[in-house]
A and B are shown apart, each in its own frame.
Chain A
């Protein structure tokens, strides 16, 4: 428990400092979470779930935590513009793990809350109290209670019953600092009955320090509500990201998630969907593009706890150089969850001999009237297609690029925001051409 020790001491000594600027609700959950973290510790590579994802090295770095809530002297608008052409969004920033307050939410429908977790849990405590930590409390991953112990701010999106937000909301989370830094990010998204929203989260690292981002996202999709949730990671190669996203879906709700990792160091994404009402539908897709010695590990768990729900998963990886991809996809169909449909597909392309892919589909079915399927395949570039293209005068390099791009096309097709889809296509092509360092949207120019 070496890495844990220093954080345990930190909390024991600084719990007061930590809570000084925080809402009662955030503070009220810390001690219980701290107990849990002490019991669980950080995830270890000897646990099956983390077999190919060893966090030890990343956790051995001595990160600073901004417990005193020192304001970062940057205006994210100045150093960063991540605009998606033709996509008008409501735009918000999180700098490290603080909501950037100068952005006043304007033009959102009445009753919608979108802003700082710390502020809104103060002003709307009774509204948010039933949700905050409701899903995270059940997690057995040590990173989750660790986050609850240290979380000081984050973002809330609350959409009241029947409200449809027409424009997508975009949240840009930047990592910035002159020292190695750990951030505990927290997102809480609540859609009441019949509500609709589209939410896009982009992660960027603006400096080349070592960053450890530990994020917990709790999402509640109410009856007949629908949420599209997009995530794009474009951090630096020194970033470690651990993200736990927990979703609870009520009856007849629809949830679409598309998670794209374009540039990273070491990323672990846990996505847990639980169906709490009948007739709900979850569509999870994602893409992981990695090169050099990057690692991307996506672990999905879908809990078909009730009958008549549908889940679809499509995850694709393209691994270059000595990159490592990990996919774990567990689907649990409980005893009474009849008429469940669950489909999982994971396809991977290793374009070098050194690239490695570990894939583990895992279906547990206890109901007898269900439709379930899973398929996973890992292969190389299709040599016959490559030769066919070269025989038409297309250079080998260009042909490989077109084939890799083609491989990812169906994941991009699942993006329902056309301008975002176009932007993603452009970014993916840049990734394959090795031009992503010259990220057009980033005027800071020091992404690496």
Chain B
């Protein structure tokens, strides 16, 4: 098993958002997590990647057999966890090249591999850029600075391609994308799929799941997973909305 979440509780500023999440993901699987606004979807991704704004109050998370919650955010990344941010951060003055070189080489150092030479690194950048058709001009700019919404999301998948994670969490990667950008991003994710790596797709709408087909769909509501089923659940939600789920839970 790649990821095992047991009874995870987390809060921000004393307010409990996650109230006992249980979730297991095997290698090679794609899981979709859906749910209405405010149900805790983004909190789950933030807690898994170690965002210091959130406090874990109970539960355990095991990642590749290691205790994830005891690791720093950087070590979680180096162990193979990747988050495609819902709102990628602009970092003026830090070039994409320097940013990625630091990241790639710190991953390599962690695996006790030598740093990449400048030419090998640039070759890798070129190769991975083509996965999401990212303009070479963007790669020479500051991280996300002045990127359009679509470019930012493509840049996230580009970074994912560079770092080759075991588990990728795509947090609302479809929000703000037009249909062409959505297709490019989804194709990028599919190209990077292997029987070894897994993906969590967090989304409000079903449309991304037309392109990235999940093995399982979970519905998160009020900080708990209230329903788990196959792909058909997503289609069901598209048609009927979330109200019937809410009603079921309230009963």
Contact = CB atoms under 8 A, between A and B. Distances in A.
A236 B73 CA distance: 38
A410 interface: yes
A366 interface: no
Given A398-B102, A402-B99, A402-B102, A390 B74 contact: yes
A403 B94 contact: yes
A406 interface: yes
B163 A389 contact: no
Interface string B70-100: 0011101110000101001111111000110
B51 to A, nearest CB: 6
Nearest to B102: A394
Contact of B110 (A393, A406, A410): A393
A384 B89 contact: yes
Interface string A361-397: 0000000000000000000001111011111111110
A408 B163 CA distance: 28
Given A387-B51, A398-B102, A398-B106, A393 B163 contact: yes
Contact of B73 (A390, A398, A405): A390
A403 B78 CA distance: 20
B52 A395 contact: no
Interface string B44-63: 00000111100000000000
B94 A402 contact: yes
Contacts of B52: 383, 387
B41 interface: no
B91 A389 contact: yes
Given A398-B106, A402-B99, A402-B102, A390 B72 contact: yes
Contacts of B92: 406
B106 A403 contact: no
Contact of B89 (A385, A394, A406): A385
A407 B142 CA distance: 12
Nearest to A398: B102
B107 interface: yes
Nearest to A384: B89
A410 B163 contact: no
A409 interface: yes
Contact of B85 (A388, A405, A406, A409): A388
B74 A395 contact: yes
A393 B91 CA distance: 16
Q: Which among B52, B76, B94, B142 has the greatest number of chain A C-beta atoms within 10 A?
A: B94
B91 A396 contact: no
Interface residues of A, number: 23
Given A387-B52, A402-B99, A396 B72 contact: yes
B139 to A, nearest CB: 15
A246 B21 CA distance: 67
B159 interface: yes
Q: Which among A394, A403, A405, A409 has the greatest number of chain B C-beta atoms within 10 A?
A: A394
A404 B28 CA distance: 40
B103 interface: yes
A388 B99 CA distance: 11
B152 to A, nearest CB: 12
Interface string B98-134: 1100110011001000000000000000000000000
Given A398-B102, A402-B102, A392 B159 contact: yes
Nearest to B110: A393
Q: Which among A392, A398, A409 has the greatest number of chain B C-beta atoms within 10 A?
A: A392
Contacts of B72: 390, 396
A271 B106 CA distance: 43
Contacts of A398: 102, 106
B94 A392 contact: no
A163 B47 CA distance: 65
Contacts of A403: 91, 94
Q: Which among B93, B110, B142 has the greatest number of chain A C-beta atoms within 10 A?
A: B93
B125 to A, nearest CB: 14
A388 B52 CA distance: 11
A143 to B, nearest CB: 36
Given A388-B85, A388-B88, A393 B107 contact: yes
B48 to A, nearest CB: 10
Contacts of A393: 74, 77-78, 103, 106-107, 110, 163
A109 B102 CA distance: 47
A385 B106 contact: no
A183 B50 CA distance: 54
Q: Which among A391, A398, A403, A410 has the greatest number of chain B C-beta atoms within 10 A?
A: A391
8 contacts: A385-B89, A387-B51, A387-B52, A390-B73, A390-B77, A392-B77, A393-B103, A398-B106
Given A385-B90, A387-B73, 20 more contacts: A382-B91, A383-B52, A385-B89, A388-B85, A388-B91, A390-B73, A391-B49, A391-B50, A391-B85, A392-B159, A392-B163, A393-B77, A393-B78, A393-B163, A394-B99, A402-B102, A405-B93, A406-B94, A407-B93, A410-B93
- Would you list the 3 A-B pairs with minimal beta carbon distance, nearest first? A406-B93, A393-B77, A388-B89
Interface of B: 49-52, 72-74, 76-78, 83, 85, 88-94, 98-99, 102-103, 106-107, 110, 142, 159, 163
Interface of A: 382-385, 387-396, 398, 402-403, 405-410
